[in-house]
């Protein structure tokens, strides 16, 4: 998905809200996410200096370029620059 493909409401309907049994954290499972770009890259976009994190950070949040929901609202939160 480049962000310009039509929203697949049927596939999105199979999404489900879950609670992680180990952490208790809420999460959405969205099968349509398998269509997003997942190309190997020499540079990690989340590493400091990468496209999503050009400056050093402890915690960083930014809009998701390929949001999983129809309204296009989603953000990515990076809790550490070490991964």
- Domain contains 45: yes
Q: Could you tell me if residue 4 is inside a domain?
A: no
- Sequence-distant (≥ 6) Cβ neighbours of residue 10 within 8 angstroms: none
How many angstroms separate the CA atoms of 78 and 60, rounded?
5
- What total number of domains does the chain contain? 1
Structural domain contains residue 19: yes
Residues spanned by the domain of 29: 9-78
- The DSSP annotation for 17-47 comes to EEE-TTT--EEEE-GGGGGS-----SS-TTS
Out of 3-7, 49-53, 54-58, pick the least confident: 3-7
pLDDT tens across 38-51, in order? 655 678 888 999 88
What's the N-to-C CA distance of the chain in angstroms? 25
Rounded CA separation 73/28 (Å): 13
């Amino acid at each position: 998905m480049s962000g310009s493909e039509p929203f697949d409401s049927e596939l999105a309907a199979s999404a489900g809200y879950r609670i992680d049994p180990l952490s208790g954290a809420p999460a959405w499972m969205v099968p349509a996410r398998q269509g997003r770009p997942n190309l190997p890259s020499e540079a990690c976009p989340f590493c400091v200096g990468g496209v999503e994190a050009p400056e050093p950070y402890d915690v960083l949040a930014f809009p998701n370029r390929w949001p999983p929901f129809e309204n296009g609202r989603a953000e990515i939160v990076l809790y550490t620059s070490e991964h």
